[in-house]
Structure 1
Amino acid sequence: MTETRDTSREGRSPEQEFLARLDGVTADISGVAEVSLTELPGRLSLSNYRELAAARGWEVEGLHRSGGKLCLQVKRAGSSPITRQLGAEFLSGPSLTELRGNDVAREEAALVLRETGVDVLSDTVLDDARRQHLAFRRKVMRRTWLSMLPGVFAFAGVMFSFVLWRDGDTQAGNVLMVLSLVAAVVCAATISLPVKAERARKAAVHDYTTAYERVVSAALATRGRSHD
């Protein structure tokens, strides 16, 4: 049997071979990729790898072993981190642009659209979900203050009532205590309002957040398998 040799690699310097391997990798959804350093002709320092990667628009994140092979983990310069928020306390994850650029994410998004009717990769759908989220968040904040103020007044009133009683002003102390008790009742009656508003917020964005997380999970699962 005749042994086939890869003559395309013969005569390459370590720098040329590394750049050839770097040019052949594909970044995952978070802009991360791995370059195998196994059987690389010659040795380079980490600073050399950083300089070569930077020339191709990559940032070196470090070295690690994957499947018994030494790999260099690199990241596309300017890539958004996975934890980037898509709205105030709304979603944390890659942007829709990054998801659209990932094959697995697009396939999963198409499947989600067929099954649930939610178009995860639509800017219009995302903006609508974000508007609902922000509207309900404002309602939660307003109702939180509405329920807190009577409670604060009740607590302060009770404390001051004791001061009035101690100073001998019984009538004023009694009046203030009654008002404090009324405020406490109002606080107890309104304390559930922000809780209900928060539940309504979660319900309003549930379909989109669930669909979005499903798409991101599919893309990240592929990333995890590629690193094994």
Structure 2
Amino acid sequence: MTRKPIFAANWKMNKGASETEDFAKAILPKVQHHTFPCDIVIAPPFTSIPKAAELLGNVSSVALAAQNCSQFDSGAYTGEVSPMMLKEFFVHYVILGHSERRAIYGESDEFINAKVLKALEVNLRPIFCIGETLEEREAGKLEEVLRRQVTVGLKDVSEEGLGDVVIAYEPVWAIGTGVTATAEQAQEAHAFVRSLIAEQFGGEAAAKIRIQYGGSVKPGNARELMACPDIDGALIGGAALEPASFLEIIENGTA
């Protein structure tokens, strides 16, 4: 089965509105009237989403994402942003369960699952992040960790709902470190994740779901990583902050 690759730029806590405007204007000539063999997603910080929506909201080849959302529609949740608020700004995807949310802010698998279910309920597409730390990998716990994250994080998701989920496998030891999993390591983990989806949702669902790789993806390694049969695009951090670098990754990854 042919799966359409998806390349997502996770800007993290970078780029205010003016920098977002500069980035959008830099890529507009490349994306405005061009058809890509992949989906392109950009995830600015919350405060920059309105500017990104203003400039890119009507560009069919680019979709906007948020980097997080609440599991609630509204209420007394100081500092939170609801999925319904995001939808007002043409946001179609939301990154959930990123390792930085798990490690720095203590988000549990159950907490992330509640967000996944809420996002699907309001027709936002989760980019659901999973991945092991270096200590877990070295202790031989890779499969145990991924199994727990997938099983709990996607609990109660319907097979139909799963069709709107993108999984992002990100070995924590490769995020922002400059160290990238080898293509062999990445493919092995992706194949295992796909087998977990087959166990939980069936073979057809497993064949359809897109699984991105994230972790120091750069123009120089994109082609080799994306050539792996179970890797369906990339979730890109630092290398997606520069328009030329982000576009080069997409170009190399879809060549």
For normalisation by structure 2, the TM-score amounts to 0.22
Give the TM-score taking structure 1 as reference length: 0.24
Task: Identify, as 1 or 2, the structure richer in helix.
Answer: 1
Structure possessing the higher radius of gyration over alpha carbons: 1
